[in-house]
C-alpha cells in the first residue's frame, strides 16, 4: 500500500512540473493537467487517511483559489490555465500548505519575471538559431509564463503539505 500511496503522492509534483514546462514552451497550460490533479487528489487523500473535515477544507481552499484566480484572470493579470493550476495545487496543499505555496510562488515569480525581462533585453542578438519557443518567450512585450512560478511554488511547499506529513508520519 505504501508504494501505491507514494505513486499517488507523486502525481502532484509530476503534473505541476509538466504544467510549468508546458507554459514555458507554449504559453498554455492544458486543462487536462489541472483536471488530472483534481482527479488524483481524492485517491491520494484517502490513501494517506486524510480526515473528511480536513479533506473538505482542502476543497474549500481550492474553490477560494479558483475564485481568486478567476478574478485575476478577469483583470488580465494571469491566464486561465494559471488560475486553474493554482487552484489545483491549492487542493493538494490545503490550508496549511497554501500560504507557503503562495509565498514561494510570489518570490519565484518575481525573480523569474526580473530574469526574463533582463534576458529579453539582452538576448535578441543571440536568438538566430534558437528554437521557436525561446524566440517567442524572448518577445520584448510578450507574456510571462507564470505557470513556471506556480509549479516552483507548489514543489517548494509540497514537502510540508498535510498529505506528505501524514504519509511520512509526523
Residue 148 near residue 20, CB atoms below 8 Å? yes
Q: CB neighbours of 93 closer than 8 A, spacing ≥ 6?
A: 58, 61, 100, 101, 154, 157, 158, 161, 162
Q: Which domain holds residue 122?
A: 2-168
pLDDT for the residue 12: 97
Cβ contact 15:36 at 8 Å:
yes
* Spatial contact of 62 and 88, defined as CB atoms under 8 Å apart: yes
Q: What is the pLDDT of residues 106-163, one digit of tens each?
A: 999 999 999 999 999 888 888 888 898 998 899 888 899 999 999 999 999 999 999 9
The number of helix segments (H) and strand segments (E) in the chain equals 7, 0
The fraction of the chain above a pLDDT of 90, given in percent, is 84
Q: What is the mean pLDDT of residues 55-64?
A: 97
Among residues 8, 166, 164, 31, the alpha carbon closest in space to that of 100 is found at: 164
Domains identified in the chain, total number? 1
Output the pLDDT for position 154.
98
- Look at residue 145 in the predicted model and tell me its pLDDT: 95
Amino acid at each position: 500500500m505504501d508504494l501505491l500511496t507514494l505513486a499517488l503522492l507523486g502525481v502532484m509534483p509530476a503534473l505541476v512540473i509538466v504544467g510549468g514546462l508546458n507554459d514555458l514552451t507554449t504559453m498554455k497550460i492544458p486543462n487536462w493537467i489541472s483536471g488530472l490533479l483534481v482527479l488524483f487528489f481524492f485517491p491520494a487523500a484517502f490513501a494517506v487517511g486524510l480526515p473528511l473535515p480536513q479533506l473538505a477544507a482542502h476543497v474549500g481552499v481550492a474553490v477560494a483559489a479558483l475564485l481568486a484566480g478567476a478574478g485575476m484572470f478577469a483583470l488580465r493579470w494571469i491566464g486561465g490555465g494559471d488560475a486553474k493550476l493554482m487552484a489545483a495545487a491549492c487542493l493538494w496543499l490545503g490550508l496549511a500548505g497554501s500560504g507557503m505555496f503562495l509565498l514561494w510562488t510570489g518570490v519565484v515569480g518575481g525573480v523569474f519575471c526580473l530574469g526574463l525581462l533582463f534576458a529579453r533585453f539582452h538576448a535578441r542578438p543571440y536568438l538566430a538559431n534558437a528554437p521557436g519557443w525561446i524566440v517567442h518567450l524572448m518577445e520584448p512585450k510578450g507574456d510571462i509564463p507564470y505557470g513556471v512560478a506556480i509549479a516552483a511554488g507548489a514543489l517548494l511547499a509540497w514537502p510540508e503539505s498535510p498529505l506528505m506529513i501524514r504519509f511520512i508520519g509526523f
